[in-house]
Amino acid sequence: MEQARKICEPFEGIEFNANAVVCDKAFTAGSSSEGELLETWAPGEQRLDRRTALKGLVAATGAGATFGCRNDVLGATNIASPDNAAIAQPSLRLPKTADFKSVTQAQVPIGAGGFVSGIDMSADGDLVACRTDVTNAYLRRRSDRHWAPLFAPETMQKRDYDPLPDYGDKADGIGVAGIRIAPSDKNIIYASFCGYLWKSKDGGRTVLRTGLKQLKMLANSGVQRLYNRTIDVHPTDPNIIVVGSWGEGAWISLDGGDRWKQLTLPASLPSGDGHPGIYLVAFDPTRSGRLNIFVTGRGLYRCDDVRTGEFRLIPAGPTFCTSLVSAANGNTYVCEKTGPGQGGRLWQYSRTGWSVALTEREGQAFAYHPDCSGKAVLIDPNGFFMISLDHGKSFTSVGDGQWTASGSEIPWMGGLSLMFPAEVLFDPLEVDRLLVAQGVGVASVKTKGSRFPVRDWSAGIEELCAVSAVCVPGGKTYLSAFDKSFWRVDSFAGYANDFRYPLPAGRKHDASLVAFASYMDYVKSDPNFLVGVIAPAADSAPGYTDNGGESWHSFANAPESGWGVGGCIAASTKENIILLPSNRGVGVFTVDGGKRWEPVKLDGATPTAGFSDAFYIFRKSLAADKERPGTFAIVYTTLKNDLCVEPKGGLWVTRDGGRSWSQVFKGVIGEGKCAPTSMINAGIDPRQFWQCQLEYVPGRPGELVYTPYSDARSDRFYWSSNGGATWDQLHRSIRNVRTFGFGRALERQERPALFFWGQVKGVEGLYASYDWFSSEPRLITRHPSPMLGKVTCIAGDPDRPGRLIVGTSCAGWVRFELEL
C-alpha cells in the first residue's frame, strides 16, 4: 500500500475528465487519425498539468472517463520493466488563434542524443532528474513512461522565457550546469539555467528564478561540464543550498534561495583545458551542516557547520578532480583527474585521514551505495566499470558494459557498444541497479555478471542538434543532425526511427558512431534517391541512398581536393550532384554519380573555394532547380576584408550541371543598388558571409527565395522571379529570417505555402504564408520547441497541406499540423 500511495500521491485533488486525459493504450477521442497520443482540452477549460497527465495511469473511456491506478505499474520496481513501457511525448493542441482553427505540436520521436551530463534521484527512489549540456533538464518519476523538460513555457513564468535571460559570458547556451533534488523533500528541485539558479517547489510543475545573481555556470564547455556536482542541498533542511560556479566562487543561501552570500574560499585555478576552475559541493549526509567543497587546483575544503563555521583545507589530498561524493558511511570520495595511461586514483577521506585506492583506469564518475553495505562503483571516461565491495578501498575491473536491445526504450540505442559517463548513482530501491548519465541518454545498469548489462532509459529526452529536414514529394521525411547523422522518419507516434550514414565498402553500421552530418537533397525523378554530406572518416563519407534511406553508401571516389568538413549538397539527377564543403574548401561537381568529381570554377579557370567558413555554420548557399535538369544556383560570399568587395560575390548559375557558370547578380543580394556602402546607408548588413539559405521555388522554374541571416537586426527576406537577376522583398514587414521551407499549396494557388522563422513587425515566431505574401504572414507560434530550443531548419510536407517539420538547435525536431 505504501508503494501505491507514493505513485498515486501526485494525483490528489485533480479532476480527470474526457477533455483532459492522455490515452494509455486505446486510441479514443484523444488520438489523431495517425494514432499518436494527444492531450486535449475544451475551450476555456482548466488545462490538466502535463507532467501529471503523462503518467500513463489514466484510463480513458470516452465521456465520463475515470481515473485508476494500474496494478502492473504499482507492482513494478524495475525501472526498465516492460510492464511500464515507454511512450513518446503526446501531441499538444495549442490554443486557438485568429490565424488558425487549430495548431497541433508534437515532438518527432527520435529519442536521446546527448550529452546527458548529470543525474540525481530523490531519497525514496521515486523522482529522477537529469541535466544536459546543450538543452534543458528533465524529470521523470518511477511510474512515468517518459522524461519531461524542467524548463518549458508551461512550467515558467512568461517573463522568464519570453525572451530567455541574456546570459552573456555567464552561460554558453540553454543547457543546465547543475541540478539537485532536496534529500528531505523531493518536491524541491534546484537547477542552474542561463547562468541563474532556479527553484521548483512542486516537483517540477513550476520553476522560478531564485535571488542568486548571475554567475558563470557553463553547461556546454570543456570537460568540466561533466563533473559533478555543482549544486547541493542540506540533507534535512531544503532551504539551505550551496552552488559552485566556474571561477566565481561558491555561494550559500539559508532561506530557500532568496538571499545569498559568497563563502570564504580561495580562488580556483584554471582547469586542464583552460576554462575557469569549478567548485564542486557536497553536504555530509551523516552530519548536519558539514559541507565539503572541492576547489579546482586547490583541493578539498571542509566546514563542520556551514551556518557559522569557517572552511579549512584538508591537506595532502588531490588538487584536480572529476567527481566529489559525500557518502552515507560518512566518508568523502574524490575521483582524481589523471592523464591517459596514468591509471586512476580514488581518494577517500575518513576519520583517519586520506587513503587512496589505485585503479586500472582513471575515474570519471563514482557512486557509493546508500545502504552502507560497502558496495561502490567507479566508471572511467569511456564506460569501463570497476566495482568495490569494501567501501572503495580496492576495486575489481569489470570492463565495458554490455548494451542489450531487449528492454531498451529507444530501439536504436540497443545497438550501442560504447558509453561515456558523466555521473552515476545507485537506485535505493534495487541494490544492484545503477543509473548513469552518459553520452546519448540515461542508462540503467545491473551490477552483476561478467559484463554489466546496460539498458536505455531515455524516452522523452530529445537532445540531437538538428541541421536539416527534407520532406520528399511522394516519399518520406528525412532528418540530419550532429553526432547521429541521417534519419528516415518511419513513425511520428513511437520510437521506431533509426539513423543511418553512408558506409564505405566493407564497413558495417555502428550505432556508437559519432559523426557530424549537414545537408541532404533528393532527386525529383526518384523519391527513394537522396544524397547527403557527413564528416569524412574511415567509417563514413558523403554519399547517397537509392532505397529510401534503408541503407546509405559512400560515393565511389573522393575529389582530389578532399571532402572538407560539412557543407551543403544539391542533386539535379542521380548522376549530377554538386557539393560545397565548409571550412573554405573547394566546391566540386559530378556528372556520373560520384565516380569522378571536378572542381567548381566560377571564373572558368580557377577552382573556387571559400563557400563557407566553418562546418558548424548553417549555411546553405546552393540549390538545384528541380524543374530544369542541370541547373544550379550558388550564392558566393560578397565581402572579404571590411568593405573590400569580392569580385565573385553575388549569385552564380550553371545550366550544364556545373561545367560552366555565369554571374547573374553582382554584389550583395538585395533591392536596387547592391554595393556594400549602399546597403549600409539603407540600414542593411552587407556582409552575408554567415548563415544563409537559398532555395528554388518548387514547381516554378527559375524562381528563387533567399535569406542572408547575417545575425543583423535588419536582414530582409528576398524573392527573385527571374533566375536571380533582380530581387524583391517577399513582404516588407519581415526581418531576420533564420530559415524557411515550402509546403503544399492550397487550391487555386500558383505557388507553394511558405513557412519561416523570423520577425514580422518586430515579433519573432514561426509564420506561414499561403497566398505568396499577398497578405501579412500568419503567426503559428512564438515557441515552436517545448524545450525552448532555437529553430534551425524547416520543411513543409509537399503531399499534406498544413504539415511542417521544424528542427531546433539541440532539441530535435517538432511536427506541426495546421488547420486554416
Q: What is the DSSP-derived secondary structure letter of residue 546?
A: S
| Sole residue written with cell 576495486 | 395
Out of 347, 366, 385, pick the residue that ends a domain. 366
Query: Does residue 297 belong to any structural domain of this protein?
Result: yes
Written as one letter, the residue type at 750 is: E
Phi, psi of 380 (to 5 degrees): -85, 170
- Domain assignment present for residue 745? The answer is no
Tell which residue, 798, 701, 816, 795, has the closest CA to residue 746: 798
Q: Which three cell numbers stand for residue 562?
A: 578532399
Yes or no: say if 682 and 673 are a contact pair by the CB < 8 Å rule. no
Number of other CB atoms surrounding residue 275 within 10 Å: 18
One domain, residues 138 and 45: no
Q: What is the arithmetic mean of pLDDT over 588-600?
A: 98
> In the sheet that 692-696 helps form, which strands lie side by side, from edge to edge?
619-620, 692-696, 704-707, 718-720, 728-729
Residue with cell 522554374: 701
Per-residue pLDDT of 749-770, as tens digits, reads 999 999 999 999 999 999 999 9
What pLDDT is attached to residue 647? 83
Q: How confident is the model at residue 640 (pLDDT cuts 50, 70, 90)?
A: low
The beta strand positions in 615-689, using DSSP E, are 619-620, 622-624, 632-636, 650-654, 662-666
Which pLDDT does position 644 carry in this prediction? 59
Cis before 115 (ω within 30): yes
Does a structural domain hold residue 243? yes
pLDDT at residue 80 is higher than 70? no
Domain total in the chain: 3
93 in Cβ contact with 40 (< 8 Å):
yes
- Is residue 516 domain-resident? no
* Measured distance CA(581)–CA(771) in Å, rounded: 35
Question: Which residues, in sequence order, are bridge partners of residue 729?
Answer: 718
Identify the burial level of 548 via C-beta atoms within 10 angstroms of its C-beta, where 0-12 means exposed, 13-18 middle and 19 or more buried: middle
The torsion defined by the Cα of 614, 615, 617 and 623, in degrees rounded to 10, comes to: 110
Whether the ω angle into residue 163 lies within 30 degrees of 0, i.e. cis, is: yes
Domain identity same for 41 and 168: no
- Tell me how far apart the alpha carbons of residues 326 and 336 are, in angstroms, rounded to a whole number: 15
Quick one: 324 exposed, middle or buried, by C-beta within 10 A (0-12, 13-18, 19+)? buried
CA distance 290 to 240: 12
Cell of 800: 499534406
pLDDT of residue 98: 83
Q: Please state, in angstroms and rounded to a whole number, the distance separating the CA atoms of residues 129 and 126.
A: 10
- The answer to whether residues 129 and 254 belong to one domain is yes
DSSP state, 212?
Answer: P
Q: Indicate if the pLDDT at residue 545 is higher than 80.
A: yes
Which of these, 150, 116, 129, lies nearest to 365 by C-alpha position?
116
567 phi-psi bin (left φ>0, alpha ψ -120 to 50, beta other): left
> Contact, 117 vs 157, CB < 8 A?
no
From 324, 267, 322, select the one nearest 298 (Cα to Cα): 267
Q: How many CA atoms lie within 13 A of 710 on its CB side?
A: 19
For residues 667 and 707, membership in a common domain is answered with: yes
Whether the upstream peptide bond of residue 229 has omega within 30° of 0, thus cis, is yes
Read off the DSSP letter of residue 503. Answer: B
Contact (CB, 8 A) for 175 and 118? no
Distance CA 750, CA 170 (A): 49
Return the number of other C-beta atoms located less than 10 Å from residue 64's C-beta.
7
Q: Is 241 exposed, middle or buried (0-12, 13-18, 19+ CB in 10 A)?
A: buried
User: Is the confidence at residue 19, as pLDDT, over 50?
Assistant: no
Same domain, yes or no: 304 and 181 = yes
Tens of pLDDT along 392-407? 999 999 999 999 887 7
- Are both 82 and 135 inside the same structural domain? no
Q: Output the CA–CA distances (angstroms, integers) from residue 245 to 166, 230, 281, in the order listed.
A: 18, 7, 10
Pairing of strands 196-200, 189-193: antiparallel
Neighbouring C-beta atoms of residue 59, cutoff 10 Å: 16
258 close to 209: Cβ distance less than 8 angstroms: no
Whether residues 218 and 338 fall in one domain: yes
- For 326-354, the pLDDT digits (tens) are 999 999 999 999 987 889 999 999 999 99
How many CB atoms sit inside 10 A of residue 66's CB?
A: 12
Please give the sequence-ordered ranges of beta strands (E in DSSP) within 73-214, or none if there are none: 91-94, 102-107, 116-121, 127-132, 135-141, 148-149, 174-175, 179-181, 189-193, 196-200, 208-209
Rounded-to-integer distance, Cα 441 and Cα 435, Å: 10
User: Rounded to an integer, what distance in angstroms lies between the CA atom of residue 555 and that of residue 543?
Assistant: 5
Range of the domain at 131: 116-366
Instruction: Tell me the pLDDT tens digit for each residue of 546-589.
Output: 999 999 999 999 999 999 889 999 999 999 999 999 999 999 99
**Continuous segment of H or E residues that includes residue 553:** strand 553-554
68 falls within a domain: yes
Distance CA 783, CA 790 (A): 9
pLDDT tens digits, one per residue of 480-491 = 999 999 999 999
Q: Same domain, yes or no, for 635 and 709?
A: yes
Q: What is the pLDDT of residues 184-204, one digit of tens each?
A: 999 999 999 999 999 999 999
pLDDT of residue 160: 96
CA torsion sign, 202 to 207 to 208 to 214?
Answer: positive
Last residue of a domain, one of 60, 92, 124: 92
**Cα(577)–Cα(593) distance, integer angstroms:** 7
What's the average model confidence in pLDDT over 680-708?
A: 88
> Model confidence over 776-800: pLDDT tens digits?
999 999 999 999 999 999 999 999 9
Query: Which three-class secondary structure state does DSSP give residue 807?
Result: strand
Q: How confident is the model at residue 46 (pLDDT cuts 50, 70, 90)?
A: very low
pLDDT cut 90: percent of the chain above it: 76
676 Cβ neighbours under 8 A, 6+ residues apart: 638, 639, 643, 645, 667, 668, 686
Q: How far is CA 154 from CA 47, 206, 665, in A?
A: 11, 8, 47
Q: Which residues contact 216 (CB under 8 A, 6 or more apart)?
A: 169, 170, 171, 195, 245, 246, 247, 248, 276
Looking at residue 684, what is its pLDDT? 74
Confidence of residue 643 (pLDDT cuts 50, 70, 90): low
Residue 131: which CATH number? 2.130.10.10
Shared domain for 44 and 122, answered yes or no, is no
**Rounded to 10 degrees, what is the CA torsion of 199, 205, 206, 209?**
20
Task: Clarify whether residues 26 and 124 are in a common domain.
Answer: no
- What does the pLDDT look like over 273-310, one tens digit per residue? 999 999 999 999 999 899 999 999 999 999 999 988 89
- End position of a domain, from candidates 680, 700, 729: 729
Q: How far is Cα 406 from Cα 417, in angstroms, rounded to an integer?
A: 14
Q: Name residues whose C-beta falls within 8 Å of residue 81's C-beta, 6 or more positions apart in sequence.
A: none
Q: What is the dihedral of CA 775, 778, 782, 787, to 10 degrees?
A: -130
Is 465 domain-assigned?
no
Average pLDDT score, the chain: 88
Is position 62 within any domain?
yes
pLDDT over 90 at 381, yes or no: yes
Together in a domain, 149 and 71: no
Same domain, 51 and 123: no
Considering only CA atoms, give the Rg of the chain. 28
Which triple of cell numbers denotes residue 478?
Answer: 528525412
Examine residue 338 and state whether it is found in any structural domain, yes or no: yes
- The letter for the amino acid at 485 is S
pLDDT of residue 682: 74
* Reported pTM: 0.88
Q: Note the pLDDT tens digit of each residue in 414-465.
A: 889 989 999 999 999 998 999 999 999 999 999 988 889 999 999 999 999 9
Q: Is the backbone of residue 452 left (phi > 0), alpha (psi -120 to 50) or beta?
A: beta
Which residue pairs, CB below 8 angstroms and at least 24 apart, start in 377-380?
377/424, 377/426, 377/434, 377/447, 378/335, 378/344, 378/346, 379/419, 379/421, 379/424, 379/436, 380/344
Q: What per-residue confidence (pLDDT) applies to 79?
A: 56
Sign of CA dihedral 746, 750, 753, 758: negative
